[in-house]
């Protein structure tokens, strides 16, 4: 999404154009990584979606988990930036964005039983885990997603503004 918002600048200057890459890096550093680390350290069972026993994984794994989230953000940004710089048709770019959103929605639907449940791995396996909104994490996630959404919207608006400035300087 960030690359699409910065498409005017990326078409003109490539995927490493400034300030878009800096804005994406700041979003990752200030919002995404701390949120990932918080969720991993305080709600490890839920963060692993009850697939892995977090007691067997060192707590220090929060750092590679946050790096993986930031890496995925940058990989998507860079890949889309390359497509935009190569002047790939707008409909193809929109199809890729829509496909990514569809995959994320499908994964969320398939994992809803795990996403909307809270408890330890043992409680989940025993069927005694509670609803996500019966505990504080449900409300924390609402606030966290609202904050991440607001920050992402701000970055998107700034990228769009920068794109207008980039097209204004073109002959």
- The boundaries of the domain holding residue 42 are 2-168
pLDDT at 169: 62
The domain tally of the chain equals 1
For 130, which DSSP code? E
pLDDT at 93: 83
Residues 105-145: tens digit of each pLDDT:
999 999 999 999 999 999 999 999 999 999 999 999 999 99
Q: Averaged over 86-107, what is the pLDDT?
A: 89
Residue ranges of alpha helices (H) inside the chain are 2-5, 7-13, 20-27, 33-42, 44-47, 62-85, 90-110, 112-115, 121-126, 136-168
Pairing of strands 130-131, 117-118: antiparallel
Average pLDDT, the chain: 91
Model confidence, pTM: 0.86
- The overall longest dimension of the chain from CA atoms, in Å, is 66
């Amino acid at each position: 999404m960030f690359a699409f918002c910065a498409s005017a600048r990326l078409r003109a200057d490539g995927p490493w154009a400034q300030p878009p890459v800096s804005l994406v890096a700041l979003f990752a550093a200030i919002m995404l990584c701390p949120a990932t680390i918080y969720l991993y350290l305080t709600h490890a069972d839920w963060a692993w979606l009850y697939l892995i026993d977090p007691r067997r994984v060192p707590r220090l794994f929060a750092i590679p988990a946050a790096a993986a989230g930031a890496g995925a953000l940058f990989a998507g940004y860079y890949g889309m930036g390359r497509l935009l710089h190569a002047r790939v048709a707008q409909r193809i770019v929109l199809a890729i964005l829509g496909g990514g959103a569809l995959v994320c929605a499908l994964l969320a639907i398939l994992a809803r039983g795990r996403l909307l449940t809270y408890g330890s791995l043992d409680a989940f396996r025993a069927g005694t885990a509670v609803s996500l909104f019966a505990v504080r994490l449900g409300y924390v996630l609402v606030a966290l997603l609202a904050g991440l959404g607001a920050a992402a919207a701000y970055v998107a608006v700034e990228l769009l503004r920068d794109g207008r400035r980039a097209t204004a300087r073109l002959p």
